[in-house]
Amino acid sequence: MTSTQSSSVNAVAPVITIDGPTASGKGTVALRVANALGWHMLDSGALYRLAALACMNRDVSADDEPAVAKVARELDVRFNAEVWLDGSCVTDRIRHEDVGNLASRIATLPALRAALLERQRAFRQPPGLVADGRDMGTVVFPDAELKVFLVASTRARAERRYKQLIDKGISAKLNDLMRDLQERDARDAGRSVAPLAPAADAYRLDSSELSIEQTVQQILEWCRERSGQSR
Ligand code: DC
């Protein structure tokens, strides 16, 4: 490799992608991995949720693809410790089921996905980025250093979500949660654009029987192995 080539490669910040189905724990795991490495973090699902909430606020129908894409292009969002939409703090609001369900519906629209693509890539900044979502390794960052596909059984994911809701004082039924997860999985995996699927070069990690810490440590170990190989 010439020195010009090597400096242009170094100018691109490294990326770790963590993709997987809903409630697989990717968000928590990605944040811990990012903190351990001192890297930036992209929660791409939050962008889809913000687009969904903006559509709700503007009465834009999920069936009106051009209008949904326009909302996404003009999204006025800010991330710090909280998440902001049009100047309002929406950190908790975007986690509600109605917003998640609409996000899953509009995520099937190619124009919406195209509108969010460059926004997601802009998060790639030195010293590095940990990106979590559904298509981080396949579409948004196909050249990522390390790609992880994080899975867990439907029961394990439903039990985690059940515990989170009960801890927050929100009543829930395990069977309903399992059914919702299966429906959302089917929609995310069955859509024609950027369906949920592991990249060909992704490491598959089943966290059903692992703690968050064990999951994080496994990813950090793969990261060390990969950066050792590329040196
Ligand atoms: O990860 P999450 O539950 O916050 O994501 C909300 C929805 O957004 C999810 O049902 C599918 C969609 N999504 C997507 O299609 N692609 C991504 N990279 C991230 C999320």
Find the range with the poorest average confidence among 4-8, 43-47, 169-173, 183-187.
4-8
104 Cβ below 6 A of ligand 1: yes
CA of 184 to the centre of ligand 1 (A): 10
Give the amino acid at 156. Answer: A
d(CA 107, CA 194): 9
* Residue range 165-204, pLDDT digits in tens: 899 888 889 999 999 899 888 888 888 887 888 999 999 9
In percent, the amount of the chain with pLDDT more than 70 equals 94
188 Cβ below 6 A of ligand 1: yes
Is 69 within 8 Å of 110 (Cβ atoms)? Answer: no
* Residue range 132-147, pLDDT digits in tens: 999 999 999 999 999 9
- Global confidence as pTM: 0.88
49 Cβ below 6 A of ligand 1: yes
Calculate mean pLDDT across residues 115-137: 96
Tell me the longest C-alpha to C-alpha distance in the chain.
Answer: 61
pLDDT for residue 230: 62
116 Cβ below 6 A of ligand 1: no
With 0-12 / 13-18 / 19 or more C-beta atoms within 10 angstroms meaning exposed / middle / buried, residue 171 is exposed
24 Cβ below 6 A of ligand 1: no
Q: Is the model more confident about 80 or about 38? A: 38
Token digits of residue 20: 């997987």
Domain boundaries, the chain: 14-224
Estimate the crossing angle of helix 44-57 against helix 97-106, to 10 degrees. Answer: 100
- Atom 15 in ligand 1: residue holding the nearest Cα: 107
Token digits of residue 81: 């410790």
d(CA 106, CA 51): 9
- pLDDT at residue 213 above 70? yes
- Atom 3 in ligand 1: residue holding the nearest Cα: 22
- pLDDT at residue 231 above 60? no
DSSP 48-114: HHHHHHHHHHTT--TT-HHHHHHHHHT--EEESSSEEETTEE-TTGGGSHHHHHHHHHHTT-HHHHH
Q: Check if CATH label 3.40.50.300 holds for domain 14-224.
A: yes
CA of 69 to the centre of ligand 1 (A): 16
Kindly report the average pLDDT of the chain as a whole number: 90
Helical segments of the chain, H only: 3-11, 26-37, 44-57, 65-73, 97-106, 110-121, 154-167, 174-190, 212-230
- Atom 20 in ligand 1: residue holding the nearest Cα: 45
